[in-house]
Structure 1
């Protein structure tokens, strides 16, 4: 997999626009891309012209109703609560902001990892 610096920068900007606490946010190269973690929990990630969001089960139906989204599947196993964003919608600031906000809601509800 190939990292996508342009998409990484867009996700940085999305997180900054939603005023994510920088002291609680970390980045980690994972799965051939870059993952963004809040309090140690995966929030979102990107690689090769696609982004992944941890929208949670509460927001999953809404997320999957958006254009160019699909449930995360790895090794033929579906992961409820996780969504991939691909295609032209990657350029849509409102779509990314909506997915990022849902991911933040989901992860902020989790206890911090130690």
Structure 2
């Protein structure tokens, strides 16, 4: 399963210069980690953001988002973002900010 390299480059640009960011290939996609905790990623179906359970409702109000599913089951605290949400700098930035808020609340791994 391949991921969209264009989306990966878009996320790399958003994350450039931020300390603690690493890339990790996972489940046929590409995850971006903040000090070892998943922040966001790119799959064969688009993008995903780990916003945490306490921010999921806020993230799901953003146009172009929906539940992130893996093997047909929703993943808690994760949202999927479609191409339109990813193409909009403001929407993508809001999702990234929610993901950073969650990841920064976790201890480094």
Answer yes or no: same fold by TM over 0.5: yes
> Which range moved further: 26-35 or 75-84?
75-84
Point out 4+ residue stretches in structure 1 off by more than 4 angstroms. none
* 3-state SS of paired residue (1:67): coil
Q: Which residue of 2 aligns with 1:47?
A: 43
For 1:92 and 1:49, the matched residues in 2 are separated by: 17
For 2:65 and 2:51, the matched residues in 1 are separated by: 12
- What does residue range 19-98 of structure 1 map to in structure 2 within 5 Å? 20-21=18-19, 24-48=20-44, 50-98=46-94
- State TM-score, norm by structure 2: 0.91
For 1:36 and 1:97, the matched residues in 2 are separated by: 15
Structure 2: which 5+ residue stretches go unaligned? none
For 2:51 and 2:13, the matched residues in 1 are separated by: 18
Is the 1:71–1:79 contact (alpha carbons within 8 Å) kept by the matching residues of 2?
Answer: yes
Residue deviations 1:10-62 (CA, integer Å, cap 9, x gap): 0011123xx521xx111011121111011111110002351000011222111
Residue 87 of structure 1: how far off its partner (Å): 3.2
Q: Which residue of 1 aligns with 2:15?
A: 15
The two structures, once aligned, show a CA RMSD in angstroms of 1.4
Residue 75 of structure 1: how far off its partner (Å): 2.3
